Chain A
Amino acid sequence: METVLEATDVTKDFKEGRETVRVLRGVSLSIAAGEIVALEGPSGSGKTTLLSIMGCILTPTSGRIVVDGEEVRGDRPGRLPAIRKKSIGFVFQQYNLFPALTALENVEYALNIKGVRGRPARVEAEAMLDTVGLADRKKFLPRDLSGGQKQRVAIARALAARPAVLLADEPTANLDSTVGGQILELFRVLAKRERRGLLVVTHDPKVRTVADRVVLIRDGLIAA
C-alpha cells in the first residue's frame, strides 16, 4: 500500500529552563493511504508532540518525516505551511471553527487558504458538507450547531482540497458516545472511500473499533 505519512526515528527535545527534555526518543510510524491508525498513550507520553511533528507544525530535533512523498526538512521551516496547505487536514478536539463564519464559509475559507477561490471553492465546500451530512446546515453559524455537527464541519474543512493525510486530535472527546460513534463511523467511511491516511490521537477506546491499527506511545517511545 502507498505510504502517505512516514516518521523514521524521530526525536524531539524541548528546553525547560536550563534543562533539555527529550519528549520523543526515536519514534517510527507510517500510515498508508486509506489506513486508520489510532495513537494512544497516557498524558505526557508525547502523542500531541508526535501529531504536531507529523502535521508539520513542529520540526523534529532529529529523524525523518515524509508527507505525501515530500521530505520535511528541519532546516527549511518556511516550507512547513506549504506542506500543511497541500497535504494535511486537521480535526481538533475543540473543533476550532471560525465563529463568525457559517458552516459553508468555514469550509470555503480553508479552500481559499489552499488556493481554491470563487465558485469552485463554493461548489467543493458544499460537496464536502454534503459528504459529512450537513448540507441542510450550511448557512448556520457554529454557535447554532451541536457539538457533533461542529465536528462534522471541522471534518469537512479538514477534507477541503483533498489532502492525503488527516490528523485528528481527540475528535470525540467533547461528544457524547452516540455522536462520537457517528463521527468515528464517518471517519472510517471517508478514510476508506477517499483513500486518506488517518492518524487519530485519542483516549477513547471506541476508536479501536474503526482503527486498522492501534499504536501505543509511552515515555516518548512506541510501546506497541
Chain B
Amino acid sequence: MKRRDFLTKGTLAAGLARSPGLLKPLLASETSPAKSSQTPPQTAKASEEIRSHEFPRRAQGDKFLPKAPAFAESYLSPEVRISPMPLAERLRRGVVPRRGFCSKIPGTTVSEGLTSGNGHMNIEVTCDPYSEQILFHHESLLMPWKRPFEAAKVADIFPQVRQMVMDGRYQEAIEFAFREMDKGPVKVNTWPHPTVPAFMMHLDSPKTASVKDYLRTVDFETSEVKVYWTDEHGNWMRETFASRPDNVVVQLLTAAQGQQIKARIAVEKPAARMRMFGGAGGTSEVQQDYTADRLIYKCRLDPSVDNSGYAGVVRVVRNGGSARMDGDTLVVEDASSVILLTRIEWFAEYSEGKVEALRQAVEQLSPDYDAILERHRKVQSEAFNRVTVDFGGASQYGLSTEELLANQRSRPDYSPALLEKIFQMGRYWFIYTSGKYPTMVAEVNANINLQIAPGPQGDLREGMDAYFNWMESLAPDFRVNAKNIFGMRGTHYSLWPDKGVGVAFHYSTAASTGEIWPHPYWLTAGGWCCRPFWDHYLTTGDVDFLRNRVVPALKELALFYEDFLTVTGKDGNYIFVPSFSPENNPANTSPSAMLVINATMDITVCREVLTNLIAACELLGTDADSVAKWKAMLAKMPPYLMEPDGTLKEWAWPPLKERYSHRHISHLYGAWPGDEIDPDRTPQLALAAMLADRKRVPERLAAHGRCHRALVGARLKDCYMVDTELRQLIEQGYVAATLRCSHDPWAFPMPDAQGGIPTIMMEMLLYSRPGIIEVLPALPPTLVVRSRECWPVPSLGSTN
C-alpha cells in the first residue's frame, strides 16, 4: 500500500484523524517531498487492501446504513483554522529536537500544555498562536496550615480499638476511632491543602483566519518549548524555557520577517479549578503592580493563617516599538522582538522589601536569550543524559506525538520512538520538578512512590537528595504521629506528606460507597518512604549516607515496631493488629471494615525495615545489642498465607477472604519495590505472588495500579504482564500528546505513570540486588521479535 493510501485509510481507522484539519497536511507532506538529509521516518505498515474491488461498494450500497459521521459545525468553523506543519516541512526545517518531541495541535487548556521548569518554577504553555496561555508555578506555594497542628490525640483509645479489631468488630472499631478523632481539631475528611499556581499569563495578538505549518516542540536537553506557525504575514516563532542557573523563565517573542510584535500581555489570578486538590485552603490576597516595563504580581497566600506569600516579577524588554498599560493589560506595539524575564519567589514572611529586592534582582539579569539558554543547557543536558535509551527511535524521527500514539495503537509491537520519548519525558519531568522539594503529588501508598521510583536507578541524584531532605524534615511530625495516635515511640509516617507537613491529618470516608479509609492506622508509609534511602545506598555504595541518613530513619521505625508488636498468637508469632492493606477490604467484610489484621504488606514492610537495619548495622559494626533484638523480632514474623489455589493472600489471617477486584496490589510489595520475593530465593512465594498479580482485576483504571502490576511482573520475570500493562499505559489514554501522564485515562495530568513507566522500562531490562545483576528479566515479547527495519539494535546505555 502506498503511504498516501495508508494515511487515508489506516489513520482514520486508527483514530489518528482527531479533527478535520489533520489529515490534509499529512497528505501534503507526501506531495511535497522532503529535501532533507534526515533519515526518512517509518511508520507501521497498514495491512494491504485485500477486499475485492466490488465488495466495499456492495457492502455500502444499503441506503438505510447510518449516514457518514460529521463534525460539529463549531469544529468545522473555528475562529482560527490551524493546520499542522507537514512532516516534510518539519524535516526540511530541522525543527524537531533529537531528544524531545513535537506536537501538531495546540492545547486548549494549560493541562494540554507543554512544560518547562527549573525545579523551583515550572510552566505549562498551551502554545496557541494568537491566544497563548502560560500557567506559572512555584514549588513552595502551599496554602498554609494553621499552626500548631498535629495528629489527633487518640492514643488513649488505641488499646480499645485494637481489642475491637481482635474481636472481629472491624467496622465498629474504625467508626469508634473516627468519632474520637473527629472530636479534636483535625476533622474527618480533612484534605491536603493545594499547592496553588502562581499566576496565569495571557499573550494575545491579532488573529488571522487561518494558520498553517503549526508545530509546538519541547527540547529535553535545553528545556525549551517552542511554537511555530505561518500566517498571511509570514513565519512566526515563540520560545520559552526555565533556567536553573539564572532561576528565571525566559520568553522570547520574535516577529515574522518584516513584521512587528503586537501583543497584549496580562498576568492574572488563575482560575480556582486549576488547583489539583482544591478542597482546602483559604482566600489569597492579590495585588498587581504593573507598569509598561515590568509586571509585579504579589500574593499573600492566606492572611488569616500566616504571613506567607510570594511575588512574581515579569520584566519586559522590547527591541523597538512601544509599550503602554491598558488597564491591567500591557500593550506592546511594533517591536521586532520582546523578551520576558520572570522570577517567582516564595516568602515565609512576606514584605514589600522582599518584593523590591526581587524586582532589583530580575532587573540585574542580562536579557540575552542565547547566553541564558547556554548556561542552562549545560546543566540540563548533563543531568538528562546520564541515562539514555535507544530502542531504534531514530527511524521515526520527526513524527509528532499524536502520530506516534496513533502508530502505537495500530501496531502489534512498540513504536520505538514513542517508548524512547516516554522514557525521556519521565526524566525531563523528574528534573524540572526537582528543586528544594522533590516531585510530589498526592499519596504515599499509590502516587509519590511511583513518582520517586526512577530516581535511584536513573541517577537522578538532585531530585533524590531533595526527597531525602524533605522526608527528614518531617521527622518531628512523624514522631508526634506515633505518640498521638498510638502512644508509641519512634516515627509513624503520614499518608499524605507535604511541604513542611508530616502530620497524619487525613482520615476519610465516602458516603456513596460506604468506604472508610483508616489511614492514620496505616503502619507502612514509613518503610515505603525509607525504601528509596536504601536503594540510594545500594546504587551508590555511599557508606556515610548509610550511617548518617539510612540507619537513623530505620531505627526510629524499628522503635515504633518494638512498641507496636506486643500481641502474639498461639504459635508465638506476632499479630499485626490493627492492620490495613491500602485501600482494600476483605471480601467478607464491608467496605467500612478495612482496618483488620495481618495485612501482608504490613508484615513485608516491617520485615524489610528490620532486615535492612540489621544488615546496615552489621556492616557498620554498630548496635550489636539492638541487632540481636531485631533478629529476635524477625524470627516472630507471621508467615504469609496462600489461597487453596496457591495465590498469595492479601491478609495473613485465615478468616479474611480475598477481594481480587481492586486497583492496588499492596500485598506484592515484597516483589516491588521491596525485594524479598524472587524465583531463586523464594520460589513458592514468587509463584504465589505471580498468581496474585495475575488474578487482580482493577475495579478502577488508576495508572498506579497498572504500573505496580507491571513492576511486580518485571521482578517475577513475567514479560507478559509487563507487556500487557505497558501497552495499556501507553496506548489507552494515560499518556497524552504532551507526553504528560494521567492517573485516569484521558484525564488531567497526574504523574504516577510519569515516574512509573520509565521505572518499568528499567526493571524489564535489568534487575539487580547486592551481588546480583540480571539482564533482560522481563523483556516484552514484541521487543524480542521485532521488525527488522524498525528495530536495528535496541540498547540501553548510560553515560558517565
Are A and B subunits of one complex? no
Q: Which residues of A contact B (CB under 8 A)?
A: none
Tell me the B residues contacting A by CB distance below 8 Å: none
